[in-house]
Amino acid sequence: MQSVYRASSVLVQRLRETDICVRNAILDLYGKCKALVEAYFIFQDMEERDSISWNAIIAALEQNGRYEDTVVHFNEMLRFGMEPDDFTYGSVLKACAALQSLEFGLMVHDKVIKSGLGSDAFVASTVVDMYCKCGMMTDAQKLHDRIGKQELVSWNAIMSGFSLNKQSEDAQTMFSQMLDIGLKPDHFTYATVLDTCANLATIEIGKQIHGQIIKQEMLVDEYISSTLIDMYAKCGYMQDSLLMFEKAQKRDFVSWNAMICGYALHGQGAEALKMFDRMQREDVVPNHATFVAVLRACSHVGQLDDGCCYFHQMTTHYKLEPQLEHFACMVDILGRSKGPQEALNFIGTMPFEADAVIWKTLLSVCKIHRDVEVAELAAGNVLLLDPEDSSVYILLSNVYAESGKWADVSRTRRLMKQGRLKKEPGCSWIEVQNEMHGFLVGDNVHPRSRELYDMLHDLLDEMKLSGYDPDSASFAEVDEEGSASEQDDLLGMLRQ
């Protein structure tokens, strides 16, 4: 880079302002080499600028993460009477997407249409991506459907958008439609679809995608291999995830994080910590996400001292500032190991105000220790931050139920009803013969619901015969409408 800089400096001095083409080329070179200061110096020193000059500096700013400056220079370009082209719009729309600035994105889209570039496949795909990143999936899909010649980049944008917005089923539907019209997926397509398989735990579809990746010899791709590791881990297939991890030709921190997070997610805290130790031995630098998984693993295995050690190591050795997620993990570790009061004291030492997640974490550990006093304090703080959060009432009523305070359970549920708050119904799903079956609490929609409930009753009978005695808090979670007496009646029926 130094030799390039010296050579370009000589060229600039010799050519002065006479050759704009050379200056544009140097400006573009600096931008792509992430030498933004030098690129900006060249741009500012130009007495004459054409549309290529503006495109080069706008692209350099966007590629180096200076999204607000990208928008500012786009406006400056317009002010100087320059007409944007497809490259200009591509850069500024990416900046709008990164900023999630729908307002400015709409203004840019309006200019795209007026300029006659609305049907351009590249520009239209970038607009689709902008709408997706701003959460406007309906508009994104409408625009995608209107594109005359739908290129792979547009399909990737809409699938990635659905995945990003937690609409994984829609992403998989779009993938099927893309295959139907004969388009060949690329690395990004497969990675996106594998991510949706991880989100939905659709392991069979994931295995089919894995097979296609092997046929197309894409396993050497670092991004693909790390996504496969993550998919198997999130689906609970830790042995397959480990096999993919060991076979990977190159492992980045994403692959390591996937393994550590997978073990922590499935309650294998000891394995997660072993993997983290191995990661350190191989000199792979962990990031914030790594330490979230490590701290969760410490919570699973009840290792308070190790948790405190890792938390300290993150700040002193790796110079990573703890984020709210890390503090929430420490609250959970301390609350489980030493009790809610110790966790409450820790919250008081935090360098910033606790958010609702941290207070709800404290509320959850209060159930384990039956600490009603701290639970009420935590619940009050959550409601101050988010008065519409119905989960607080559920968690608090569970603490009351665990402590045998059925009158308080009834009062809490009544407050929830009076506030017209409704608990989000519990949902589960299972994949059987490549078909996904989803269920809500009290669901009667499934065509075989009668058979399912018969089976459930048979299982309950078997559980009672085996001496299983359901604890009261479990039913406090399930029956969100019931009063204390109704809870007692239900328990009495099950114990008969």
443-494 pLDDT tens trace: 777 788 888 888 888 888 888 887 776 554 444 444 444 444 433 432 332 2
283-314 pLDDT tens trace: 999 999 999 999 999 988 878 889 999 999 99
Q: For 165-193, give the DSSP string.
A: TT-HHHHHHHHHHHHHTTPPP-HHHHHHH
308-332 pLDDT tens trace: 999 999 999 999 999 999 999 999 9
* Residue 50 scores a pLDDT above 70: yes
Long-range contacts of 155-158 (CB under 8 A, 24+ apart): 155/183, 155/189, 156/186, 156/188, 156/189, 156/192, 157/125, 157/126, 157/128, 157/129, 157/132, 158/128, 158/132
List, in order, residues 6 or more apart from 462 with CB less than 8 Å away. none
Percent of the chain with pLDDT over 90: 55
| Domain architecture of the chain: domains with CATH | 1-136 (1.25.40)
115-135 pLDDT tens trace: 998 888 889 999 999 999 999
* Residue 277 scores a pLDDT above 80: yes
Classified as helix, coil or strand, 362 is: helix
Distance of alpha carbon 241 from alpha carbon 224, whole angstroms? 13
406-451 pLDDT tens trace: 888 888 877 777 665 555 666 676 767 666 677 776 677 778 888 8
Give Cα separations from 172 to 129, 233, 348 (angstroms): 17, 19, 45
Higher confidence at residue 476 or residue 44?
Answer: 44
